[in-house]
């Protein structure tokens, strides 16, 4: 793998780079935010490891700018900014994973490897469709049968996860992790509530459902068989 580490703390970046180099990967380090954005946009990497607090340009702005530019390189935020709202903000900005400092290199390596194993999402138009439902992942717009559907950011993220896994059954736990970055059960009905809201917008006004509840298992988005 070719990995770009965007980190202004020299001790941390050296530690990460050394670990990945010893594992046989190519690890490059950039400490300035603006230089990192230019480099990440113009060079192909397999993974970006991004701190949020950087000189020149913060990590959140870097990732947002890359996504607007169409750069799809997986991003793992590695930062001391670790509140729940901060993690949600990072993922909604275009991050693929979020790890809070202090961290163990073994966990960082495992997460990077997991991101690298994900199949690349390929779509020239950035649009993915199931039956008459169309989701533009770049413009973050949703249409069904040509009708524009207004979704809240969390509803869009939920739909994005479901449509990227078309036909697969996603459990409540999987959705909590991928949509809300919860690695524990918050003991709330947040998943069920958002599924209900999403179904009301993308299914109920139309002739057949796409979002299906799999009893005692989870949820699946697919066209009628």
What is the Cα–Cα distance from 196 to 119, expressed in whole angstroms?
Answer: 29
DSSP string, 68-116: HTT----EEEEES---HHHHHHHHHTT-SEEEESS--HHHHHHHHHHHH
Residue 123 has a pLDDT of 44
pLDDT, tens only, 166-185: 999 999 999 998 899 887 78
Mean pLDDT of 37-41: 91
Domain 127-221 belongs to what topology?
Arc Repressor Mutant, subunit A (1.10.10)
Percent of the chain at pLDDT > 90 equals: 73
- 43, exposed or middle or buried, with CB in 10 Å at 0-12, 13-18, 19+? exposed
Residue 25 has a pLDDT of 93
Beta pairing class for 2-6 and 141-144:
unpaired
pLDDT, tens only, 61-116: 999 999 988 888 999 999 999 888 889 899 998 999 999 999 999 999 999 999 98
Identify the band that residue 225 occupies on the pLDDT scale cut at 50, 70 and 90.
confident
The number of beta carbons lying within 10 Å of the beta carbon of residue 70 is 9
pLDDT, tens only, 121-145: 544 457 899 999 999 987 889 999 9
Q: Where are the domains of the chain?
A: 2-117, 127-221
CATH of 2-117, one of 3.30.460.80, 3.30.530.20, 3.40.50.360, 3.40.50.2300: 3.40.50.2300
Residue 151 has a pLDDT of 94
The chain-wide mean pLDDT, for the chain, equals 91
Identify the band that residue 117 occupies on the pLDDT scale cut at 50, 70 and 90.
confident
pTM of the model: 0.56
The Cα angle at residue 30 between residues 27 and 33, in degrees rounded to 5: 140
What is the Cα–Cα distance from 177 to 161, expressed in whole angstroms?
Answer: 11
């Amino acid at each position: 793998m070719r990995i770009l580490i965007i980190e202004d703390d020299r001790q941390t970046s050296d530690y990460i780079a050394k670990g990945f180099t010893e594992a046989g990967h190519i690890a490059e380090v950039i400490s300035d935010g603006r230089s990192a954005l230019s480099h990440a946009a113009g060079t192909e990497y397999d993974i970006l490891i991004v701190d949020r607090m950087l000189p020149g340009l913060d990590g959140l702005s870097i990732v947002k700018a890359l996504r607007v530019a169409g750069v799809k390189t997986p991003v793992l935020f590695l930062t001391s900014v670790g509140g729940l709202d901060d993690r949600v903000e990072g993922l909604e900005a275009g991050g693929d994973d979020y790890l809070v400092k202090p961290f163990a290199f073994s966990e960082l390596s495992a997460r990077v490897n997991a991101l690298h194993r994900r199949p690349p999402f390929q779509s020239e138009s950035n649009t993915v469709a199931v039956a008459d439902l169309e989701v533009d992942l770049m413009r973050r717009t949703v249409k069904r049968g040509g009708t524009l559907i207004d979704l809240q950011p969390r509803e869009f993220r939920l739909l994005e996860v479901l449509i990227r896994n078309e036909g697969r059954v996603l459990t409540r736990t999987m959705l909590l992790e991928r949509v809300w970055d919860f690695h524990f059960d918050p003991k709330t009905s947040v998943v069920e509530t958002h599924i209900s809201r999403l179904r009301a917008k993308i299914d109920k006004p139309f002739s057949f459902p796409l979002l299906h509840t799999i009893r005692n298992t989870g949820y699946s988005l697919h066209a009628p068989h």
